Amino acid sequence: MMQEEDLLQVAADWKRAGREVALATVTATWGSSPRQPGSQLVVDQEGRMLGSISGGCVEGAVVREAIEVMADGKPRLLDFGVTNEQAWEVGLACGGKLQIFVERVE
Amino acid sequence: MKLSLIDQLADLAAARQPAALVTHLATGAQTIFTPETADDAVAAAIADDRSGELEIDGRRCFVLVRNPPARIIVVGAVHITQALAPMAQLAGYEVIIVDPRGAFATAERFPGVTLSQDWPDEALEKLKPDTRSAVITLTHDPKLDDPALTVALRSQAFYIGALGSKKTHASRVERLRAAGFADAEIARIHGPAGLDIGAKSPAEIALSVLAQLTAARRQKPTSR
């Protein structure tokens, strides 16, 4: 099948292979946004990632947060958008906003 | 997220059981629901195939909907099917091809596709088309198409399409009427299958059928 990979399964496989793993999930979007709620990104402690949560705009920032989540185990809800300071740093060129939940796989 | 929850979701997916993972966003607490165990709002999200935020008991939650992949069951391993199968896979469907004629449904002609050489009605009774399944008959042969349509019409398939000219379809309608189907039931069949885009080649016909099926799935109310 050419369907999208099951990223939850990828997360479980990585975790069982002994890697630290965090999962980022798009929970809400406003305006123009390339990925729908439910889109996911799997990240490990080396910053390796699979999946996508935007058109490549916020992945870098989310990987940094994900590594912190792996360390302290506290889930985080991240906001990205034009009204957020991070937007300047990260750059959502589309002008959309999105919210991402990041959690540790354990 | 606990590995045990991922395993539980994988088991549900293997059983083609729709499910949702509900996360309380403030704490990260998670619960899995099926349509049977979910409250109305979560059950509606599952039915609409729509992940998103919901307020449950005054708490902000995220509902991750996990539905089995939608399926297209094609009866007739013909030339159009060779174009339709890869297109449908690209669009995210699981494709199953049914053709009891051994020379047609071969892995060589259809690499990477599930093939059944059962008689169409038997094949469909085993596959049990649900609300996430489409059934398309492409053989032009009533001996093969009609038994498949008979099972499809008694199912909840979201799309039923039958290839053939208007004349072929008119005689098909007559046969199904004689078999006891009401006009309203028979009207579920898109026949001749496909949007009218002037399609000529097998690939263009496949495109027109896939477009019509997409409209049936994504547009409300269902367009014909």
pLDDT digits (tens, 9 = 90+) for A46-85: 999 999 888 777 888 999 999 999 999 999 999 887 554 5
75-104 of A, contacting B, C-beta below 8 A: 75, 77, 101, 103-104
Out of B9, B65, B90, the one facing A8 most closely (by C-beta) is: B9
Taking CB atoms and an 8 Å limit, are B10 and A104 in contact across chains? Answer: no
B181 Cα to chain A: minimum distance (Å):
35
Please tell me the predicted confidence (pLDDT) of residue B222.
42
Spatial contact of B160 and B153, defined as CB atoms under 8 Å apart: yes
Q: From A6, which residue of chain B is nearest by alpha-carbon distance?
A: B10
- Largest Cα–Cα separation, chain A: 41
Q: Exposed, middle or buried by CB within 10 Å (0-12, 13-18, 19+), for B66?
A: buried
Query: Is the pLDDT confidence value at B194 over 90?
Result: yes
Which residues of chain A have a CB within 8 Å of the CB of B114? none
Spatial contact of B74 and B83, defined as CB atoms under 8 Å apart: no
| Amino acid found at B3 | L
The C-alpha atoms of residue B209 and residue B194 are separated, in whole angstroms, by: 4
ipTM of the complex in this document = 0.86
Please tell me the predicted confidence (pLDDT) of residue B224.
44
Non-local CB neighbours of B48 within 8 Å, separated by 6+ positions: none
Taking CB atoms and an 8 Å limit, are A101 and B1 in contact across chains? Answer: no
Q: From A14, which residue of chain B is nearest by alpha-carbon distance?
A: B3
The C-alpha atoms of residue A11 and residue A24 are separated, in whole angstroms, by: 10
Please tell me the predicted confidence (pLDDT) of residue A95.
64
Burial B20-49 (b: 16+ CB within 10 A, else e): bbbbbbeebebebbeeeebeeebbebbeee
DSSP class of residue A47?
A: -
B33 Cα to chain A: minimum distance (Å):
16
Please tell me the predicted confidence (pLDDT) of residue B223.
41
Residue B10 contacts A, CB cutoff 8 Å: yes
